[in-house]
C-alpha cells in the first residue's frame, strides 16, 4: 500500500477496469495515483483542492501605500503635458 507521500502507480488497463476504486482512493485517502502505460507515467490523479482562499478585493491592499505629501496640490514645476 502506498503512503501519502508516495503516489500509487497503476497501469492504464488496470485503471480502465477499476476506475471507481482508484477515484475513491484519491477522494477519501487523499492519495495520488500515477497512471502508467508500458511502465512510463502518462497521467496523475490527485485530490481536488479547490481555489486558494482569497480575501475580498476591497481593502486587500490597505496599509500598503504611504503618502508623504499633498497629492492634490499643484506641482511647483510645469510638466511637458501642461505646456
Per-residue pLDDT of 43-62, as tens digits, reads 999 988 777 666 677 877 88
Contact 3, 29 (CB under 8 A): no
Q: What is the pTM of this model?
A: 0.54
**pLDDT recorded at residue 3:** 46
Instruction: Give the span between the Cα atoms of 31 and 5, in whole angstroms.
Output: 8
In tens, the pLDDT along 25-44 reads 898 877 899 999 999 999 99
CATH of region 1-48: 3.40.1620.10
Sort strands 8-11 and 33-37 into parallel, antiparallel or unpaired: parallel
Residues ≥6 apart with Cβ < 8 Å to 25: 8, 31, 33
Assigned C-alpha cell, 83: 505646456
Amino acid at each position: 500500500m502506498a503512503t501519502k507521500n508516495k503516489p500509487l502507480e497503476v497501469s492504464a488497463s488496470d485503471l480502465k477496469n477499476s476506475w471507481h476504486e482508484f477515484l475513491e482512493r484519491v477522494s477519501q485517502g487523499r492519495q495520488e495515483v500515477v497512471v502508467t502505460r508500458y511502465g512510463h507515467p502518462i497521467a496523475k490523479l490527485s485530490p481536488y483542492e479547490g481555489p486558494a482562499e482569497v480575501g475580498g478585493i476591497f481593502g486587500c491592499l490597505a496599509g500598503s501605500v504611504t503618502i508623504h505629501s499633498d497629492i492634490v496640490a499643484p506641482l511647483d514645476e510645469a510638466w511637458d503635458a501642461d505646456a
